[in-house]
C-alpha cells in the first residue's frame, strides 16, 4: 500500500497530528468549563495517563501495521506519534507532581519509595526521556547503530506503563487487562515476525 507523497504530507500527517492533540484540548477545555465532574484534577491526571499509554501503544502498533498493510510510509509517522506519547506522559507526570503533591518533594520521594505503582511509573517516564531526546535526525545519525538499540527500551517501558496502571487499580482490573492484551499482541507480532523469517 502507498498513498501519494502529496496526500501523505498534506493530509495524513497533519490529520494525525490534529487528532492526537484532541485529548489535550479536551482536558484543557474541561478544566476551563469545569465539566470534568466532582474531582476534575483527578480526572485530568488519570485522563492524561490513559492517553500516554494509548499513544505509546499506538507507537508500537506502527511497525506491525506497516507489515500488515505492506505500507512503508507509515514508519515516517512513528516519531511524531512517539513524541506525542511522551507529551502525554510528561503532562501526566506534571499533573501528578502539581495536583497530587503540589511539588512537595519529600512527599513525592516517599510516594516513589512506598508505592510500587508510582515507582514503576517513574522509572518508565525516566527511561522514556532519552528516547524523546534522541528522536532528532541529527541524533539518529550521530548514534548510528546504537540508536536502534537504545530505542528498543520502548519494549520494557511499555510493559512498565501497563504495570503502572494495573497496580494503580484498586480492584476492577478490566481496563489494564485490555491494555496488557493489546501490548502482548503488539510484542508477540514482533517475536513471530522475527522467528518466522
Shortest distance (Å) from residue 54 CB to another protein: 18
Q: Minimum Å distance from CB 37 to another protein?
A: 6
Query: Which of residues 9, 25, 68, 107 is near another protein by CB under 8 A?
Result: 107
Helix 116-133 vs helix 154-168: crossing angle, to nearest 10: 150
| Residue 119 touching another protein (CB under 8 A) | no
Taking a C-beta distance cutoff of 8 angstroms, is the pair 125, 90 a contact? yes
Nearest to 168 by CA among 44, 43, 40, 49: 49
Q: Which of 61-71 are b and which e, b meaning 16 or more Cβ less than 10 Å from the residue's Cβ?
A: bbbbebeeeee
**Choice between 75 and 169, CB closer to another protein:** 169
172 is a contact residue toward another protein (CB under 8 A): yes
Burial, 37: exposed, middle or buried (Cβ in 10 Å; 0-12, 13-18, 19+)? exposed
| Span near another protein by CB under 8 A; candidates 68-76, 85-93, 166-174, 181-189 | 166-174
Q: Which parts of 16-45 interact with another protein (CB under 8 A)?
A: 37-39, 41-42
* Grid coordinates of 125: 517516564
Q: Give the dihedral sign, CA 105/100/160/27.
A: negative
| Of positions 114, 144, 195, 197, contacts another protein by CB under 8 A | 114
Give me the 121-160 binding string for another protein, x by CB under 8 A, dash otherwise. ----------------------------------------
CA–CA gap between residue 66 and residue 157 (Å, rounded):
22
Cβ-count burial of 89 within 10 angstroms (0-12 exposed, 13-18 middle, 19+ buried)? buried
Binding of another protein at residue 168 (CB under 8 A)? yes
- Residues numbered 78 to 97 that lie near another protein (CB under 8 A) are none
**Nearest CB to another protein, comparing residues 171 and 191:** 171
- Owner of C-alpha cell 496502571: 165
> How many residues interact with another protein (rule CB under 8 A)?
19
Contacting positions for another protein (CB under 8 A): 37-39, 41-42, 100, 102, 107, 110-111, 114-117, 167-168, 170-172
Amino acid at each position: 500500500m502507498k498513498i501519494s507523497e502529496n496526500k501523505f504530507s498534506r493530509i495524513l500527517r497533519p490529520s494525525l497530528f490534529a487528532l492526537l492533540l484532541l485529548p489535550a484540548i479536551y482536558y484543557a477545555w474541561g478544566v476551563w468549563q469545569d465539566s470534568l465532574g466532582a474531582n476534575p484534577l483527578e480526572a485530568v491526571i488519570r485522563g492524561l495517563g490513559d492517553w500516554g499509554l494509548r499513544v505509546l501503544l499506538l507507537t508500537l502498533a506502527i511497525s506491525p501495521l506497516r507489515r500488515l498493510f505492506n505500507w512503508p510510509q507509515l514508519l515516517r509517522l512513528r516519531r511524531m506519534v512517539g513524541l506525542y506519547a511522551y507529551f502525554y506522559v510528561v503532562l501526566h507526570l506534571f499533573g501528578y507532581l502539581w495536583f497530587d503533591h503540589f511539588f512537595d518533594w519529600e512527599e513525592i520521594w516517599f510516594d516513589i519509595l512506598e508505592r510500587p505503582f508510582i515507582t514503576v511509573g517513574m522509572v518508565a517516564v525516566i527511561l522514556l526521556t532519552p528516547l524523546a531526546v534522541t528522536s532528532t535526525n541529527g541524533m539518529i545519525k550521530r548514534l548510528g547503530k546504537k540508536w536502534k538499540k537504545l530505542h528498543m527500551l520502548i519494549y520494557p517501558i511499555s510493559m512498565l506503563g501497563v504495570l503502572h496502571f494495573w497496580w494503580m487499580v484498586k480492584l476492577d482490573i478490566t481496563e489494564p487487562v485490555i491494555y496488557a492484551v493489546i501490548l502482548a499482541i503488539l510484542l508477540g507480532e514482533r517475536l513471530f515476525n522475527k522467528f518466522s523469517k
